[in-house]
Amino acid sequence: MGVTIKRNVVTLTGVVENYMKKSEAADAAKIITGVKKVIGKIEVKLSST
């Protein structure tokens, strides 16, 4: 997963294995002091098992 911050905007990128991890990443970014916006470009790649 990649994280970039520019002008108090956090952009999350990459691939995670479930929707819970995607949500947790966004939630973690939102609580950082000074963050005004979170852009989630995270893809969920569900396991085929």
Distances (CA, A) of 3 to 23, 25, 47: 14, 10, 23
Q: How many CB atoms within 10 Å of residue 26? A: 15
Cβ-proximal residues to 9 (8 Å cutoff; 6+ apart), any chain: 35, 36, 37, 38, 39
pLDDT score for 49: 65
pLDDT for the residue numbered 8: 97
Q: Which run of H or E residues covers position 23?
A: helix 19-30
Give the pLDDT confidence score for residue 48 in this predicted structure.
Answer: 75
| pLDDT tens-digit map of 12-49 | 999 999 999 999 999 999 999 999 999 999 999 988 76
| Domain layout of the chain by residue ranges | 2-44
Given this model, what pLDDT does residue 43 score? 97
